[in-house]
Chain A
């Protein structure tokens, strides 16, 4: 055991909007170099969890520590990819401007953006295949391209902990593969990533740890232990019926389970 504080530690976190609790008693520790998926139905509080980790929403119980410090103190070590809907796409900035924003902390707030920062910003755009669009206004991109720009900005921040709210939303299969490659590369560099994800069919393949969330923490741990039919059912409540197929396939439901179901459907 090293005594370096873990990148993200949450204890008994409770968050509510106008007295209506949205998250209850969340406990979570994210270790160095882990790629964690957060899964749960719409309205489960995934975005709320990410935002309260960032300190954007006040919480009314428990605490969050990022590298052993409260969020306000060490936020500069956090990179954040927002959910698409929360961005003002008409804003007069170009793709490169957005990525350069991620460099402001490194470049210094009052100095000119140097060649080095510009080069890093371009490299990050290159990684997500968006360099040809560097001069476009951000509203004039497709949804998937916009998503990639924000990923590039997070990369440019060179953070140690990344929080991403649905980076795969509206992204085509090829891009999704490219993004997951980037995420894995970050992980191999010892960075920690917490990624909100919606697609159960790929969750198992992409992440090595999962957080199952539905207002409460349903389960957290290695994919093998958490991606089970029971836990997923519990997470999605009764609503998982449409997911069952997917869940079964990828959870690799044991053969006798299938047989049992086919028997019951014949009855």
Chain B
């Protein structure tokens, strides 16, 4: 029999079966937790990226990390984690620095400078991988779309003999904590330098240092997240939370806090949606994020269609 286009919705299979046994619950719990951490750290960093009008810088960095991954592999001749991690971060930072340099020093339009730099980086990475990486086991699919479903399969980390859990999960947790700490400690510096560079300078802030710090945080987040959600979908995780929250709230701290509930919705919603439709979890998470965005746009108090059309609002109120 032909598979139906959309699978029938089976609430038991979707909501209950994943948690039926302890092993299942542990496995799926790790997936949902990973999704949550990815959404949270990306959402928090992304909020500042978006207000600085750098939304596409996330895209650029996430593609720019590829040559770093490939070079680290070729030089080390292994998939050792730390070299790959730092290679990727370095390449990402280099990519963003190139973009900024081009934007400042050449006559290129900013968007053109961005577009050609990160695609060149990406192409270089593709070339390196196809030249030397046949045994790299760098799976292009995994790179582009990520495979959050395989996170529980990753090797476990242990410190002093104690097994502390799956490696990607632990590193994502560490990065999330780093992001939260950095953003709370340097909140004012980031806020002022994002809003008004001149004021930041008058107040004696090192604006270039702050910018570099934010780019570093962005690169770290992307590099730890791309394994789970891939270099393409990670961009939506950067942008969706803050723009969704912005339909309801107009102050930065509240928008930042909103990424917590939104991350829960994205990761759980994405997991159950993928479970129901038997599709990519990362993809489903982004679809959920998109649906939330549309709902927020419709019902949000900041500039949605309901707000702009008073008669519509009345219709809704009456019904």
Contacts and interface: CB of A to CB of B under 8 A. Distances in A.
B104 to A, nearest CB: 11
Interface stretch (B34-42, B133-141, B215-223, B250-258): B250-258
Given A92-B252, A94-B251, A109-B188, A76 B204 contact: yes
Interface in B185-235: 185, 188-189, 191-192, 194-199, 201-204
A91 interface: yes
Contacts of B198: 51, 54, 56, 80, 82, 86
B249 interface: yes
Contacts, number: 67
A76 B203 contact: yes
Interface of B: 51, 53, 185, 188-189, 191-192, 194-199, 201-204, 246, 249-252, 255
B203 A82 contact: no
B249 A92 contact: yes
Contact of A104 (B194, B203, B250, B251): B203
Contact of B246 (A54, A92, A93, A153): A92
Contact of B196 (A55, A94, A101, A109): A101
A233 interface: no
B196 A87 contact: yes
A93 B195 contact: yes
Nearest to B254: A92
Contacts of B249: 92
10 contacts: A54-B198, A56-B201, A75-B201, A80-B202, A87-B196, A88-B51, A97-B251, A101-B195, A101-B199, A137-B251
Contacts of B252: 92-93, 97
Nearest to B184: A110
A79 interface: yes
A207 to B, nearest CB: 23
Nearest to B205: A109
Given A80-B199, A86-B198, A105-B203, 17 more contacts: A51-B198, A55-B201, A56-B201, A75-B203, A75-B204, A80-B202, A88-B51, A91-B194, A92-B51, A92-B255, A93-B191, A93-B195, A97-B251, A101-B191, A101-B196, A110-B185, A157-B202
Contact of B202 (A78, A92, A97, A98): A78
Contacts of A78: 202
A56 B249 CA distance: 32
B29 to A, nearest CB: 34
Nearest to B255: A92
